Amino acid sequence: MTWRVIARRDWRLLLDARLPKIALVGLVAVVSIAAYVYPVIGTEPITTSRFGAFVTGWLGGILPAIGVLFGYGAIAREHESGALRLALSMPHGRSTLVLGRFVGRAGVLAAAIVVGMMIAGALVVYPLGTLHPLRFLALVLLTVAHGATWVGIGVAASALVTTNRQALVLAVVALFVLVIVWDAVTAGAEAGVVAAGITDGPIRTVVQIGAQLDPGSAFDTLVTALAVSDRSAGAWYDGPTLALPVLIGWLFGPLSLAILRFKWRDLA
């Protein structure tokens, strides 16, 4: 059995559950409302490129939460119920199981993102907006990658523990740290170095780099750099030079570490 078969099964199981469907409808609704509001309160010109910078704030909380919701039960729920041994008795390895679960769940979220963004693009363009197709495509792909990052974090949490509750706690802690605590700590550090009169030099640079190392900041930076045409140049750590490898690292890093850990775990 390949990871594709596992992904297809997980896709169907996820869509049969009530809570994921509510979350997906909520995501599409949030993106659509943002697109409806943007031409009214946004500044001219109204374009799909500038919509990217507008909608990232709307996605900052809901997308990580949905990604974690989709991912945390991928492995731990079956481990707790005893069904995991049966799943692993099929002709596939542990890494294939984790990868298939991730692809299936990330694929469901990606489909909802694409649907929401297509509706949003139409709302932004009609009747007076402008479509920038390549930049809008970049926005869609970046949003899919950001959503998949959080699904991967949820699946990683699920593969590292033995019960569904532990997986939920670990995933929520990761969500809280990376979405709320990280920004608060780096903002406090920035305020501290400024208050100390450190306006330049390696200490200030380290603090500013640290502020760009969470997945949300990397996503925001890439949307600004790749989907918005009028971005002014800044330091290298404020652009895609740092943000792209950071987002890629968060997309593959936690999941890869969890696969390695799960592969050699005693499941007794």
pLDDT reported for residue 266: 66
pLDDT reported for residue 49: 85
> Amino acid identity of 66?
I
- Break the chain into its structural domains and give their ranges: 3-263
**Can you give the pTM of this predicted structure?**
0.92
d(CA 102, CA 74): 8
Whose structure tokens read 């570490």? Answer: 257
Q: What is the largest CA-CA distance in the chain?
A: 62
Structure tokens of 121? 């693009």
pLDDT reported for residue 37: 93
Whose structure tokens read 């099964």? Answer: 9
Task: Render 210-229 in DSSP notation, one character per residue.
Answer: HTT-SHHHHHHHHHHHHH-T
Positive or negative torsion for Cα 145, 218, 171, 143: negative
pLDDT reported for residue 91: 65
Write b or e for each residue in 117-143: b if 16 or more Cβ atoms lie within 10 A of its Cβ, otherwise e: bebbbebbbeeebeebeebbebbbbbb
In this structure, how many other beta carbons lie within 10 angstroms of the beta carbon of residue 234? 11
Angle between helices 94-125 and 240-263 (to 10 degrees): 150
pLDDT along the chain (268 residues), means of 10: 82 87 94 93 86 89 94 84 70 82 94 95 89 91 96 94 92 95 92 81 86 94 74 74 95 92 74
d(CA 91, CA 105): 21
pLDDT reported for residue 170: 95
In this structure, how many other beta carbons lie within 10 angstroms of the beta carbon of residue 176? 12
